[in-house]
Structure 1
């Protein structure tokens, strides 16, 4: 594009989009490209490819001439009369994404004419190396830089170098007699190099499988450059040095853009399932292209039944691996012998070049979790039962990717292929048993290191599943019991619940193991808001512990039961259980449990409005946590300390405590604790009610909601939605507030949390008052009052809400009575709302 035309085109495209009141993202969605691509067009860094120009013109109702997109400067494949455009270059593909790689390689190729200059693309099979090189070959600026033409050589695993040299010689104008006179390959090379002379050519060497094949075609003159594609990193690195680029799979945005272009109906109607498919193939461009074309064909009639059936079939790994399509003669992949292409065929070509030992290792390593997870070389050798050279062979073939240190990764599609092949082998159990044994010996025993568990988190999950399948009961229990604390800390409650139920079905005879299993089951049920089930589990553990006279276990069970009673509003039962627990924990010298009991006693005192006593409990517990170096306990204590300070109106101190706790919780990856701290920070900022504070509150709450949803803690999901609803109410956005509050109310009822229910009803009552629905507000506050039970704070809040609804109805006497009742409760507790209610009563008078 000329220097004069680029700024004018940039203005035209931007103006056309703005006249349609469209954002760059909306244009990208309409055209099936990415927002980054649209930005490149508008900045003048690139021109739309021909296959999207018609859609772009239709979108803006303008012609190519109007948008200054007409190709009136550089003909696509004929820069001048002598320009050579190799007819074996495949036609331009549906090239979407890869903007950064495309520009980087183009800059490498076009910055000068030097025979030493080579750009190399490497990556796993199907990642789009050839597609990118084809797009570069068709690019007008690349063609303008290599004014004499572009030559193409597709190699593959069995490259016919003489035939390729003969083809190039013919294109360069050599006669058959001249070629025949060169009776050996060295003479051919000299003859062709002489024919090239000082011509400016780009030589594309596609799908090189060996260094020898690639270097055999480096025959250009001083004004030539090379573009190499290969699935072998060592070939790319040897030939291109710093210009060797490893192509990664598509991002989710790029994947969606490609599928939106290929199968717009599917993406429009089934976006969530499409995103799941993208993740299932790891964003591999070839897989996405095959899927997109298949879905476009199946959705042509827009029948929901056929669309659903097509997506259901693609959820099957075997279907995805063998999904194929016909390719034209020029588009036939050089690695394949047929004119069809599938994921299975593309990967099988690499597989077939491996030795039997390396092939067996590849299949065995499919037991490990796929990318983005990684596994150590030590684990790979143990599970595959092979020598290190066989692992190196897989790395050299591009089937395994080294990441950091001694860690390795396998892409999802290669993982699926290898797993499919492994299942067809006679002895599939041997590597699985080796994996379970490795996890037992090297990861979790004798004492699991938390950092090791974090690094091997996915591997431990695989080992547990395999131990279940292979009936390795002893190993299963060893892994589960040793890794439970880590998985509980990160909030993997649902997975742990499944494993614990399986462990209990094994009916272990050891009473100590049974106590631990029931106790751990209660621990994972509690944060899910399933208090009745959690209580049953803790009671069973407690009964067994009493039989064994195991004071430590008794105190831990009573401590957890105390917390259950607190959540159910049964404060007297809670204190009785906690007092017994505290006595037992001190008798058996268990300071960690003492700290947790003091924390819960502080919560009880807080809920009952005994703020000074609560503060003392919490201070004692924090001192103990610091002495023990127990960061998990300390971070959770800052939740209670922040709540306690907030209740007495010490907002700044509360904020400081909560922030300190959040730093600790993030450091230890305690996800539920992070979630609760974010809840309380959100509530704190929400109470300040300034626009900036409400914006900060929403940011904290949304982060907390993401964690709560991910780990499945329904109670905290309810609290977060409740507080988000309060934020929206204070912002005057009542429709969104009502939606979130109704969700919170449903969750509160589901988990039997009277505090969530009561607060949600009060918030909905405030919305009703703001909208003038006074009778609705009165009914909501009355319902909240019924739910508040014996909770002093909840009763005070609901009396105040009810007072305001009575005032709106004109019943000033009832308003005064309820407000005075609220004031008495708040004042008795020393609550921060005392002054607020006093001021309201003064205004009423």
Structure 2
């Protein structure tokens, strides 16, 4: 691979091509070229052929061996994982339920066989069998086996599907487990988008990917996202799916033989060893040796074994024998079973019998509780005792305790419960109580209200909360849905769950329209705008704020109108229309006179300062920032203090007062850290990096800016990403790393253009032009700066005008057009002097050098 990277660069340099030019010839991106030359990825077969045609050489000439390529490489570029970058991923943390599975009695030989097959095989292994036969337990035992973990050195990923899987959420979770940056996930819309991204990232890592409880072939196939060194294990209750995926590597997990079934019962209920063996054989056979059924029966018998004299256990065994034998002899399973014979609980008669026995033996309130608990998401998700009691509406002694004793409900020492999928399906067939759904919605609303600042608690119950919102939507309980969504939004914002916020706000829009809640509709639009702005979706944010402002104006709702106008102005500032923005900002400022709205006045002062900075009105800029900071501190608006301190630091650094800038940045960073505001941390660290560069500490500047970039990608904020990339371009340019600098500039510009962010576009083009000047690429420099100069003049951005003019002055000097060169340089110096910018010192020095050179030339 090292030869390939050197040869590819050699052939490119022979043609005097940049990476961008080669990318254009191949029809790919300069990012791919850069990765190929650094050895991070390899070209696919398609691109290798194009490279050979382009350079008129063989694959061997380029350093690629003919045996390197496999048919799977035709579609993607593989990302090899260097040894030092190969952390072994643990099995992703799963709820306690998967750790309390039925013991693998009777599965030892099959487990050993499967371990060998997985470690020595490839492709897809499929595991099928009846519901309750132990497929999930077996898969978990494999994933936990030391030999399996040792073999799959790059990790094991687990996805739980079920009848109604959240495919994109599972793929998203895999992406987070693999530490894929959030910026790389922005814009992924479909499951296929996620699959392509994961496949390229996993590449040739050696991993085991487990897809548990697949209900459709298409959904299972979506998780085949690895390369040729990955192995898949799919569990499904449907043989056709297993055969389609695993073919000859399909295994049917059978029920336990009689002797093994007895061992399992003895393991679950040790006192059974004192009972008549023939009675236990009858009982084992009655449930078909199904591990889940045996477990349910075992737990039922365990209660009797520990609740009094031995006669109680013997009586319970005889009772179970009689009921099951009677049912098995019937050709017609009975009204309840007949209604569900083809259902997903489908189950076999033995499985349904085991569940029915446990349910029918429960007190009436416990049976109703089981139906009520079916409103919760099933295992592996869990729910708290508090929520369970709220739904059941009766004390635990008559609801939860009997259910736990029966084995139908699982619990842990932390007071959390879960229903197995099959048991939940059974309960749902009994039609969960409508009042239970209503009680769950009310409980969740109150829970989120009480704990809205407690992220750990909300994180633990997030699956329950989101499923409750789906239930509320289905039941058309619109007002409850709106209240829960609005209460949950601050938590989602803190946790950077922007996609989930967007999805829930879409539900809120529908609900508000359905119940004609116009004010809440306005707030839903406002929050949609805030969420879009956080990830730099400026066009979406603008539209949402406009809708919010229109509704607020029609309703006369000043509490909504003021923030909607101000946030709308903020977006328009980013888009460069300052005249329009100021109109909205001023109106919003005048409305925000109530104490609870005054924080928005701080935002206006900050934004108006930024507008004055754009225009080069430095004194007015600083005055706005200081007014805003004073107000923010007076009303304790911490969210406004950080941005104002940051901007004051930028203004001080521009004037060359570096110690003052450092103080502002440090104070702002403390505020951002206290608030856990990752976006503001990124912004301040980026500016600290530029300050280090201005003071001559280049390596420090690069380190701090990379940290800022990582944080920006974590919160998926394209504005911060683009700004950090631009600064890295400047630093690499000054280090003499021409191609690296150009790559950073191009990435920054692409992002800025995708957002229509005027300042970043203009600034990026100016910096790219100066990069060309710095490295004497005069043609590109002239083209770039002459293109951007009219735009920045029209935008009334004197700082950028001065920057572009100085670059053009140097170009004119190179082409020996001294009069035009001096005119450009003097205009640039004049503009810099107007706002006391330190870059003016560089222009003055250059003019002095030009003057000295002219004198020396005349003397000669």
TM-score, normalised via structure 1 length: 0.57
User: SS of the residue aligned with 1:706?
Assistant: helix
Structure 1 pair 285/843, CA: closer, same or farther in 2 (3 Å)? same
User: Map of 1:770-809 to 2, 5 A cutoff?
Assistant: 770-788=774-792, 789-809=795-815
Gaps of 5+ in 1: 1-23, 37-86, 99-123, 137-248, 255-268, 339-343
Q: Secondary structure at the match of 1:723?
A: helix
- What does residue range 691-710 of structure 1 map to in structure 2 within 5 Å? 691-709=698-716
Which of 600, 623, 632 is 2:639 aligned to?
Answer: 632
Deviations 1:740-767 (A, max 9, x none): 3222222211211122212322333344
The separation in 1 between residues aligned to 2:774 and 2:589, in whole angstroms, is 48
- 1:467 and 2:472 equivalent? yes
For residues 453 and 112 of structure 2, the distance between their equivalents in structure 1, rounded to whole angstroms, comes to 55
Instruction: Confirm or deny that 1:517 pairs with 2:529.
Output: no
In the alignment, does 2:677 pair up with 1:670?
yes
How far the C-alpha of 1:436 sits from its partner, in A, is 2.4
Offset at residue 501 of structure 1 (A): 3.6
**Counterpart of 2:737?**
733
Task: Pick from 367, 383, 387 the counterpart of residue 379 of structure 1.
Answer: 387
- 1:125 counterpart SS class: helix
Q: Give per-residue Cα distances to partners, 1:372-395, cap 9 Å, x unaligned.
A: x97543224435667657768869
Contact 2:698 2:731 in 1 (8 A): no
Partner Cα distance (1:574, 1:800) in 2? 30
Alignment match, 1:20: none
Contact 1:697 1:727 in 2 (8 A): no
Structure 2 contact 234–242 (Cα < 8 Å) conserved: no
Distance 1:632 1:409, change over 3 A: farther
- Residue-by-residue CA offset, 1:537-565 (whole Å, 9 max, x unaligned): 33343333334443343332332232123
Deviation at 1:775, TM superposition (A): 0.2
Number of the residue aligned with 1:718: 722
Q: Is the 8 A contact 1:89 1:330 kept in 2?
A: no
Q: Distance in 1 between matches of 2:682 and 2:825?
A: 34
Aligned 8 A contact 2:570 2:581 in 1: yes
Contact 1:682 1:698 in 2 (8 A): yes
Please, which of 762, 768, 782 is the counterpart of residue 764 of structure 1?
768
Counterpart in 1 of 2:327? none
Offset at residue 569 of structure 1 (A): 1.8
What is residue 263 of structure 1 aligned with on the other side? none
Residue 108 of structure 1 aligns with which residue? none
| Distance of 2:641 and 2:622 partners within structure 1 | 14
Distance 2:557 2:651 in 1: 34
- Deviation, 1:450, is 6.0
Q: Which SS does the other structure have where 2:725 is aligned?
A: helix
Correspondences of 1:513-662 after superposition (within 5 Å)? 513-586=520-593, 590-662=597-669
1:640-693 per-residue CA deviation (whole Å, 9 max, x = no partner) reads 233223322233433443343333333333343334334433443454553431
SS of 1:781's equivalent?
helix
The one of 826, 836, 839 aligned to 2:845: 839
Distance in structure 2 (CA, Å) of the matches to 1:802 and 1:331: 86
Q: CA deviation at 1:443?
A: 1.6
Range moving further from structure 2, 451-460 or 805-814: 451-460
Report the counterpart of residue 161 of structure 1 in structure 2.
none
SS at 1:586's partner residue? coil
SS at match of 2:251: strand
Check the 8 A contact 2:485/2:504 in 1, yes or no. Answer: yes
Deviation at 1:444, TM superposition (A): 2.3
Contact 2:526/2:544 (<8 A) preserved: yes
Q: For the residues of structure 1 that align with 2:492 and 2:789, how far apart are their CA atoms? A: 39
Q: Structure 2 CA distance, aligned partners of 1:818 and 1:395? A: 87
Alignment size in residue pairs: 592
| 1:580–1:398 Cα change, 3 Å | same
* C-alpha distance in 2 between matches for 1:493 and 1:815: 50
Q: After TM superposition, list the pairs within 5 Å mapping 1:98-247 onto structure 2.
A: 125-126=137-138
Between the aligned partners of 1:275 and 1:350, the Cα distance in structure 2 is 41
CA contact (8 A) 1:755 1:794 kept: no
Residue of structure 1 in register with 2:51 after alignment: none
Deviates more, 1:523-532 or 1:425-434: 425-434
Matches of 1:819 and 1:680 in 2, distance apart? 27
SS in 2 for 1:325: strand
Q: Would you say the 8 A contact 1:607–1:791 is kept in 2?
A: yes
Relative to the length of structure 2, the TM-score reads 0.56
Question: CA 1:638 to 1:467, structure 2 compared with 1: closer, same or farther past 3 Å?
Answer: farther
CA offset digits 1:332-362 (Å, max 9, x no partner): 9967999xxxxx9877765675654799869
